[in-house]
């Protein structure tokens, strides 16, 4: 009969042998409960307080500097996502490679007409309300900004982005990517054909929904000049609830982010027309969220 050792055998060098008994893994620890999301009422109270303070500063002639505050707490992630150090000055002469930051990185021949028609980028047509969005890119004196690369991205008509990180359980549209670009013409005009994006939920707070919007990027003439903003649709009932739009604390500047429905732009039997100008600078500037 084989002898069963009461202790595990030791290797010849005398070191203890690794335990041969398998030890049951401890039960997985439950994930810590996520803190409850703030309620809409809490977020709306914070927004109202920020708007009241901004109104007071405007009345006192000391308005906050241009563009949304980086720490607009009702837009919760805004507080964690911006640089905390002042920008680093780059001396172009001392660093020859830095000069590349000032050079254009695309050529006009890269952009084709198809890029501006988001309804024709696949074999079939996307679902949704077809729209034309057009307007001008202007400088602070109202002069057109020509040859400007304008890029857009947006959710589909059901409120879903064709992006792997979008988890909203609304249908993807196999005929819609939601990305477009064009160059402004001699009058500073851009134009896109697309479908009206749907509203979608995001987890900023309980029952948070973004109003329908299209993201815009204006490239400038160099990578370091890029400006990013969002265009909204008139009459959206979600405006009062949205902390991203509310981060623009001046109501007139907020209104400038909303396109105008224009029946002259509406194409019979085809698409509804919206007009939206982008002003790069000055007192009527379109507020931007990035690029400062």
Closest CB to ligand DHB among residues 153, 190 = 153
127, 270 Cβ separation under 8 angstroms: no
Residues 6+ apart with CB under 8 A from 135: 189, 190, 259, 275, 276, 277, 278
Phi-psi region of 116 (alpha: psi -120 to 50; beta: other; left: phi over 0): alpha
Query: Closest Cα to residue 105, out of 155, 46, 61, 149?
Result: 149
Q: Which residues pair with 229 in a beta bridge?
A: 216
x/- mask, ligand DHB, residues 15-54, rule CB under 6 A, reads ----------------------------------------
Does residue 106 interact with ligand DHB by CB under 6 A? no
Q: How far is the CB of 209 from ligand DHB (least distance, A)?
A: 10
Q: How far is the CB of 202 from ligand DHB (least distance, A)?
A: 4
Closest CB to ligand DHB among residues 106, 202 = 202
Q: How far is the CB of 49 from ligand DHB (least distance, A)?
A: 21
Closest CB to ligand DHB among residues 78, 271 = 78
Does residue 207 interact with ligand DHB by CB under 6 A? no
Q: How many CA atoms lie within 13 A of 214 on its CB side?
A: 29
Catalytic residue annotation: 161, 200, 210, 213, 215
Does residue 210 interact with ligand DHB by CB under 6 A? yes
Query: In whole angstroms, what is the distance from residue 217 CA to residue 290 CA?
Result: 9
Q: How far is the CB of 261 from ligand DHB (least distance, A)?
A: 22
Q: How far is the CB of 165 from ligand DHB (least distance, A)?
A: 10
Closest CB to ligand DHB among residues 153, 219 = 153
What torsion, rounded to 10 degrees, do the Cα atoms 17, 20, 22, 23 define? -30
Q: Which of 77, 109, 207, 252 binds ligand DHB (CB under 6 A)?
A: 77
Closest CB to ligand DHB among residues 209, 223 = 209
Does residue 202 interact with ligand DHB by CB under 6 A? yes
CA distances from 73 to 31, 57, 69, 253 (A): 26, 18, 9, 19
Site for ligand DHB in 241-260 (CB under 6 A): 244
Site for ligand DHB in 130-149 (CB under 6 A): none
Give residue for tokens 């990035």.
Answer: 290
Give the interface size with ligand DHB as a residue count (CB under 6 A).
4
Any idea what DSSP says for residue 144? B
Query: In whole angstroms, what is the distance from residue 68 CA to residue 54 CA?
Result: 11
Binding site for ligand DHB (CB under 6 A): 77, 202, 210, 244
């Amino acid at each position: 009969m084989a002898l069963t050792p009461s202790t595990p055998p030791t290797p010849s060098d005398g070191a203890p042998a690794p335990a041969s008994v398998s030890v049951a893994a401890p039960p997985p620890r439950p994930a810590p409960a996520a803190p409850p999301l703030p309620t809409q009422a809490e977020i709306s109270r914070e927004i109202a307080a920020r708007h009241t303070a901004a109104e007071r500063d405007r009345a006192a002639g000391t308005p906050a500097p241009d563009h949304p505050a980086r720490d607009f707490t009702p837009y919760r992630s805004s507080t964690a996502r911006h640089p905390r150090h002042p920008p680093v000055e780059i001396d172009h002469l001392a660093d020859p490679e830095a000069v590349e930051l000032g050079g254009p990185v695309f050529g006009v021949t890269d952009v084709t007409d198809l890029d501006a028609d988001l309804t024709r980028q696949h074999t079939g047509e996307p679902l949704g309300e077809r729209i034309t969005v057009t307007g001008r890119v202007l400088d602070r004196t109202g002069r057109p900004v020509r040859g400007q690369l304008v890029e857009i991205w947006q959710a589909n008509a059901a409120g879903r982005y064709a992006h792997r990180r979008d988890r909203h359980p609304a249908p993807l549209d196999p005929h819609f990517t939601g990305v477009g670009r064009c160059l402004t013409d001699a009058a500073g005009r851009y134009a896109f054909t697309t479908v009206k994006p749907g509203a979608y939920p995001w987890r900023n707070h309980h029952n948070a929904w973004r109003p329908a919007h299209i993201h815009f990027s204006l490239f400038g003439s160099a990578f370091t000049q890029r400006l990013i903003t969002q265009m909204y649709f008139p009459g959206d009932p979600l405006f009062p609830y949205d902390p991203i739009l509310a981060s623009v604390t001046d109501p007139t500047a907020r209104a400038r982010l909303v396109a105008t429905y224009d029946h002259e732009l509406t194409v019979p039997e085809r698409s509804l027309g919206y007009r939206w100008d982008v002003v790069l600078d000055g007192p009527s500037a379109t507020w931007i969220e990035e690029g400062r």
